[in-house]
Structure 1
């Protein structure tokens, strides 16, 4: 039975928010939900959608609409959810990238989207399906779109993600009553050629201890402290930039991770519930943090441990370009000068480095899962299974099998 309920929540900054949720079963028998800022809007939508369901009608607008129209409307709906703190800004931007760079690259919204991108980030794919009218957006059309993506050398994983965004846009169109057939993008699979299978698995790449030490010793200021902390605790960059001094327990020697800051400085909860965790720290790292606190720049955004020059959250992309990339170049030059090996590494490799040291130290896989903030042990083993001793791998696989029995 369809119903409207009130939803209330508190944001990470302590602000009280509310919205109205309409819960119903659509014309295809699938349960659906839509959220609105006011009860009046939720009620208006309920009257409209229940009328369409009872009559079994397809919206006249749906016959005239194109895939690009759906993508534009879906993007606006997502922006509203960002404003209501339902989804993150990063999720919104990623989805827009999929829709306007690939699905409908010729639309007006796509042109506006690309105009805001850096020249080197612009995608030149031109085989989108944005001009298709909704009745023509069939499963064969989506499969052809998938094949065009692969022919343009878009990777298997990226193609899957693009199709996922398209599928969610089509679900949105169904909820709006613009289509009443099955979602044409649902269940479209992307298989890698036999010779490429296994290549799409994320390969853990990390610096050697010598490479890490060289870069660490050359770093200065905030960057040096961030590198030390990332390599010891395995924190993601977004989690580190949201850290406040209240998250550090100097007496217990622990660091609490409860939130993250996206590229726009918006603070949200961690990536998953498992992301909320407590990570132990060594005595030497605690001493460095204490020294850092004594000379820390005052933050205007919640007593941040690592604020930018203005006292707000660090922009990770900017930090990579202005600090980390030059550090890698400096380390490479120093290595060449002293005739030692050094291969520049990515920031996220510091997380891999930290977790690899935990494995080397003999931490149990389940402990590592918790410290890393992974949702399941299977995720930990999928990423780091090759690093664990073979006996640990066997024991973990037995444990996972037992949980699923």
Structure 2
């Protein structure tokens, strides 16, 4: 139990509360002007310990800078590209503002003001990433009982504007591939298998089974800080992707003269570098295609992945098959991303309901002994 003792100061009598923390170490708090205030504090400490809500004042003085560095060191599960973006956001946007602040001194209103200001000059993605880092640090502090609540929880975040999906037709894919020259097979491969850029450029000859028309996606190559890092696919899961028959011959030619460990796309041991948005072979192919077809919109390599989904669904593939091909975590995720591709299904639902309602109405009319000229 806590003990209360009085002591004299230049400003009069004050009271000190001595108590034990949950770890059984002893500490005290002084400066109470009345014994009643000291008693109330002592009671609150005992209640907080009993409820598991005790906050150690010493632990609460830890700074965001110190706890943030500790939190970053635990993010070893992140993909290299994600880890780099997190580290950059911490260094540029979070640490300069919050690094010197004690976790107990962070206020919800301050976090809201910071996020709002950040969103005015930076993208919604940047603002949300920075907030996510601060919130994760404070959440860790809450679980460690450094603070009672996470001050970053419940902050209003900017909405991220979804980029419009661009879907190419079979003819447009063919035109783009023709303008890509030596990379024509890569363009068609991306548009008809749905692989991400890093997954396609990490493919090795051994990953192909042209008899079964399958490609095994087991690695992903991404550029991180000027170098290419090879790891697992985005979902951390390998998958088997179908290769259309018409692509088999051109893919087979790429395998000729290569060992099983050689890369399918690219020269020797080097990965094909992601094409620049301003220059490079992909941009030249896009410009040439746009010049010949006014309906052709500017596309990125990732739009070819969207094109795969569109062409597969148009060909009658079910959403579960598309999910497996694209490597999404669930069919629900595929439906959320490509909901616009299922508008025709909604029309079919409406037509089916209209037919069913009409048939039911006619049935009731005949059951009542009345003729009907209604057309179902």
1:313 to 1:341, Cα distance in 2 relative to 1, 3 A: same
Given candidates 160, 164, 167, the residue that maps to 1:206 is 167
Work out which of the two has the higher radius of gyration on C-alpha atoms and give 1 or 2: 2
Deviation string 1:133-165 (CA, Å, 9 cap, x unpaired) is: 32221222212222212333532x443333222
CA drift at 1:350: 0.6
| Kept in 1: contact 2:197–2:274 (CA 8 A) | no
TM-score (norm 2): 0.67
| Residue 279 of structure 2 corresponds to residue 279 of structure 1 | no
| Kept in 1: contact 2:53–2:148 (CA 8 A) | no
Q: Specify the SS of the correspondent of 2:61.
A: helix
Corresponding residue of 2:152: 185
CA drift at 1:352: 0.6
Cα distance between partner residues in 2 of 1:167 and 1:242: 35
Q: Equivalent residues in 2 for 1:347-366 (5 A)?
A: 347-366=301-320
Deviation string 1:347-393 (CA, Å, 9 cap, x unpaired) is: 10010111111111111122212222111222111111111243369
Q: Specify the SS of the correspondent of 2:342.
A: coil
- For structure 2, the 5+ residue unaligned runs are 1-21, 23-51, 350-376
| Kept in 2: contact 1:385–1:393 (CA 8 A) | no
Deviation string 1:264-298 (CA, Å, 9 cap, x unpaired) is: 4433333226x5322211222111111111155x6
1:278 to 1:333, Cα distance in 2 relative to 1, 3 A: closer
Given candidates 305, 312, 330, the residue that maps to 2:264 is 305
Number of residue pairs the alignment of both structures matches: 297
Cα distance between partner residues in 2 of 1:380 and 1:393: 20
1:334 to 1:233, Cα distance in 2 relative to 1, 3 A: closer
1:258 to 1:329, Cα distance in 2 relative to 1, 3 A: closer
Cα distance between partner residues in 1 of 2:293 and 2:211: 43
1:394 to 1:69, Cα distance in 2 relative to 1, 3 A: farther
Q: Equivalent residues in 2 for 1:229-268 (5 A)?
A: 229-264=189-224, 265-268=228-231
| Residue 253 of structure 2 corresponds to residue 291 of structure 1 | yes
Given candidates 302, 314, 326, the residue that maps to 1:372 is 326
Corresponding residue of 1:114: none
Given candidates 212, 218, 226, the residue that maps to 2:186 is 226
1:247 to 1:271, Cα distance in 2 relative to 1, 3 A: same
| Kept in 1: contact 2:81–2:222 (CA 8 A) | yes
Given candidates 67, 76, 95, the residue that maps to 1:70 is 67
Corresponding residue of 2:107: 138
Q: Specify the SS of the correspondent of 1:256.
A: strand
TM-score (norm 1): 0.63
CA drift at 1:208: 4.6
Cα distance between partner residues in 1 of 2:296 and 2:277: 20
- For structure 1, the 5+ residue unaligned runs are 1-26, 28-53, 107-127, 193-198, 396-405
1:174 to 1:305, Cα distance in 2 relative to 1, 3 A: farther
Corresponding residue of 2:176: 215
Q: Specify the SS of the correspondent of 1:321.
A: coil
Q: Equivalent residues in 2 for 1:12-23 (5 A)?
A: none
Deviation string 1:170-224 (CA, Å, 9 cap, x unpaired) is: 334456x5823322223434265xxxxxx72343123454443332112233x33
CA drift at 1:240: 1.5
1:325 to 1:313, Cα distance in 2 relative to 1, 3 A: closer
